[in-house]
Amino acid sequence: MKKRLLYLLFLSGLTLTVFVLQKPLFMLYNRTFSIDCSLSDYLRVMLHGLKLDATMTGYFMLLPWLGLSVSIFFHRINLRKVLSPYFIIIALFSALAFVADTSLYSFWNFKLDAMILFYLDSPSNALASASLQFIILRILAVLLLSGLYSWLFLKITPAALPPVKKTGAKLMGISAMLLSGFILFGFIRGGFRESTANIGRVYFSDNQFLNHSAVNPVFSFMYSLNISEDFSGQFNFFPEEKRREIFEGKYPKGGETAVRLLNTDRPNILIVLLESFSANFIEALGGEPDVSPNLNRLTEEGVFFTSCYASSFRTDRAIVSTFSTYPGLPTVSVMKLPVKSRTLPSIAKSLAKAGYVSDFLYGGDIDFTNMKSYFLSSGYRKITSDVNFSAREQQTHAWGVNDDITFARLYSEILSRTDSPWHTGFLTLSSHEPFTVPYTRLENSVTNAFAYTDECIGQFIDKLKKTPAWDSLLIIFLADHGFPYPPGLTVRDPAFFRIPMLWLGGAIAKPLKVDKLLSQTDLAATLLEQLNLPHDDFQFSRDVFSTSCVSPFVFFSFNNGFGFLDSTGVSVYDNHPDRVILEKPSPDAKRVEKGKAILQTLYDDLGKR
């Protein structure tokens, strides 16, 4: 019996050691974030991470524990042979989770979770930002690590164990295994207190990178899979009466519009969603100079919104936020839930009631993240995507067709249209990793890619101005979300979410600069009101020019967290450790309450759809 217990102890220790040693490797690989980390930071990450490492060790030990327990009665079991397939599977899974988490963190800025599954239905797009060398090296790393883990597990696993013949010894053996099972249960549960194992348990620092480094990637992935799809049961911060009281009046309806922006109430409408085009790339918004000179000059010619913020941090969420005004959610992509997304209102549906015909243009794979299903159910009759371009054009960018080609197609289509009014949605893609574009004005590959899209915009607008189509045209430029630039900016920083919004075209009555705080989700109500069309079904959208919109604010979300920004400042809240991680200029409990009430309302609403 002693050998059985020693084996269980050694196997548990080996598994725990593997998880612990992964942490400094994760930190060293992501050196951009760990450059200022001291030796004590590394040690603290490993120490605090032990809580979840022990939990996953407990899970991994369940089958070996069961095999050892059975061997008390059936000693002829070849334990190594029985457990070999299991060890190979968990070794491969552990290695895959570690390599994926370590490699993706610099792109995502959050730990591996079930979101990765959203992209596996279109692997070519999921890998578009990575080079062949990058992919091959990661595959080799997974194979090498899984082989090493398997060999270590099997090396210490005995083929045969001594029989337990005497009744007394069997009883002692059963007692010992029950006790060890109880200990494993404690590891899995995260102790015997009220709270069970969760990601927030390993958070210990104001530095989010250190907290993330302490999280076991396998636990993070499995934990996110276990999030219930009973959406209305999630994020219940307040009793219903309290939630309603706090939420009341946040998205007011009614009131009079104080400003008229257009010289016609039936313009042709083009909405251009700019991939990752953060305010930090636009000098007129305080961003880096000389990246977007065309957008800078155009801000003087149209209606320029200087305090606009994205609702979320990913394109799939941003599309729904823009065209259906449904705020981005921190744990789920509504676009990936057709049964839910098809119940949402949309700009195209509202415009169709006024006689508009809508279409959508995207140079990439329209099936990626379920875009095609969403747009078709949202009222877009025609969709143009990568398959509608030549084979050569489809190879101009890792994600599909470069922006100069799609802008040229858009220009040609606009000139050929004879029916009006029409509405077109357009998503650019060149300002996306790997930032390889046919343009070399700037040395930095990132800023150069955004400069390239800006150049495409400038040429497109300058050509349109010379055509009759310009006179009745309203063009709305806004970004889908921000980008972590300059280096060090993360998706938890409010500056990440600040984006441009610019209305241009012959339909604009006169240039105007609007400094009022607004969200991406406010586009629908603001636009439809300018067209004298109803917008009451857009529950989470406000006409920012309405006399009823007296307390403007912004709600934005990132991976399992949210921020709330208003005239008093900003509060950012992380749901993992259930705590505020940023407050400026000073703490304000009311901001956090408002953000929580909005999040709770959103999930309640999603659960009912």
Residues 425-437 have pLDDT tens digits of 999 999 999 999 9
Rounded Cα–Cα distance for residues 274 and 501 (Å): 10
The closest of 111, 106, 99, 94 to 146, measured between CA atoms, is: 94
Say which range, 112-121, 130-139, 461-470, 548-557, has the weakest mean pLDDT. Answer: 112-121
Q: Is the dihedral of CA 328, 333, 336, 337 positive or negative?
A: negative
Pairing of strands 268-274, 473-479: parallel
Whole-number pLDDT of residue 120: 66
Give 62-100 pLDDT, tens digit per residue: 999 898 888 788 767 788 888 999 999 999 999 999 999
Main-chain phi, psi angles of 150, to 5 degrees: -60, -45
Task: For residues 471 and 465, give the distance between their C-alpha atoms in angstroms, rounded to a whole number.
Answer: 8
pLDDT digits (tens, 9 = 90+) for 399-423: 999 999 999 999 999 999 988 999 9
* Structural contact between residues 333 and 341, judged by C-beta atoms closer than 8 angstroms: no
The predicted model scores a pTM of 0.85
**Cα distances (Å, whole numbers) of residue 219 to 352, 355, 595:** 46, 51, 27
For residue 4, pLDDT over 70 is answered with yes
**46-55, 201-210, 529-538, range with the lowest pLDDT:** 201-210
pLDDT at residue 592 tops 60: yes
Return the structure tokens found at 95.
Answer: 């290695």
Res 334 pLDDT > 70 = yes
List domains and CATH numbers for the chain.
2-225 (no CATH), 264-327+355-549 (3.40.720.10)
Q: Is the pLDDT of residue 295 over 90?
A: yes
| Burial of 458: CB neighbours in 10 Å, binned 0-12, 13-18, 19+ | middle
The pLDDT value given to residue 228? 55
The whole-number average pLDDT for the span 273-291 is: 97
Stronger pLDDT, 210 or 117, i.e. the higher one: 210
Asked which of 29-33, 216-220, 367-371, 560-564 is least confident by mean pLDDT, the reply is: 367-371
Residue 560 pLDDT exceeds 80: yes
* pLDDT score, position 313: 94
The predicted structure's pLDDT at residue 283:
97
Order of all β-strands in the sheet with 561-566: 554-558, 561-566, 569-574, 579-584
Looking at per-residue pLDDT, the higher value among 109 and 486 belongs to 486
Name beta bridge partners: 473. 268
Dist CA 289 CA 282 (whole Å)? 7
Distance CA 128, CA 368 (A): 12
In order of 38, 56, 157, 364, 509, the CA distances from 85 in angstroms are 40, 19, 13, 40, 71
Measured CA to CA, the distance from residue 529 to residue 541 in angstroms comes to 11
pLDDT digits (tens, 9 = 90+) for 187-200: 888 887 666 787 77
Name the band, by pLDDT with cuts 50, 70 and 90, for residue 576. confident
Confidence category of residue 227, pLDDT binned at 50, 70, 90: low
Q: What is the three-class DSSP state of 485?
A: coil
pLDDT mean over 193-208: 76
